Amino acid sequence: MKGETKHKVQQMLKSARLRRTKPRSDILTALLKAHQPLTREQIAERIGACAPNKVTIYRALETFVAADIVHKAFVQNRTWYFELSHHCTADQCHPHFCCRCCGRTDCLHELHIPMTADSGGYIIQHQRVQLEGLCPKCSKSA
């Protein structure tokens, strides 16, 4: 699996015509393995002791966003969460569920929410859906 992940990361960088540097590879590897959106801090934690500094991580993430490899999934408590963009389109991101009890965030790839219809002269250019409540584990405890 490790070799497969490395190959996927190298392919993503090559397809986007971005230089393959260790910090970029480490950041994409962390996002690829996460299966959920991560903050800059969570990315650094997953990389570990050899993580690049926060400015390098932010610059890499912004480069990935511009190249459409990564997207800003949502903002929570004034902090952006990032994830790979392969499950989303340019107009619509898949829904996310955030547990109000434990803070866990899950991607709901199987849930399809239609684009909101144009009403009242609004032109909708991008749709993000963030659902909040209790995850299955926390709902059993409640």
| pLDDT over 90 (residue 17) | yes
Dig out the tokens for 132 from the structure. Answer: 């909040």
What pLDDT, in 10s, does the model give residues 56-85?
Answer: 999 999 999 999 899 887 777 788 889 888
Please state the φ and ψ torsions of residue 28, each to the nearest 5 degrees: -65, -35
Give the pTM: 0.72
The string of DSSP letters for 11-58 reads HHHHHTT----HHHHHHHHHHHHHSS-B-HHHHHHHH-TTPPPHHHHH
Which of 8, 15, 62, 59 minimizes the C-alpha distance to 30? 8
Rounded distance between C-alpha atoms, residue 61 and residue 27, angstroms: 8
Which of 90, 76, 35, 81 minimizes the C-alpha distance to 61? 81
Which of 127, 140, 129 minimizes the C-alpha distance to 98? 129
| pLDDT over 60 (residue 123) | yes
Please state the φ and ψ torsions of residue 99, each to the nearest 5 degrees: -80, 125
What pLDDT, in 10s, does the model give residues 18-50?
Answer: 999 999 999 999 999 988 889 999 999 999 999
Of residues 5 and 53, which shows the higher confidence score?
53
Domains of the chain as residue ranges with CATH? 2-84 (1.10.10.10), 96-141 (no CATH)
Residue 31 confidence (pLDDT): 93
**Contacts with 48 (C-beta within 8 Å, 6 or more apart), sequence order:** none
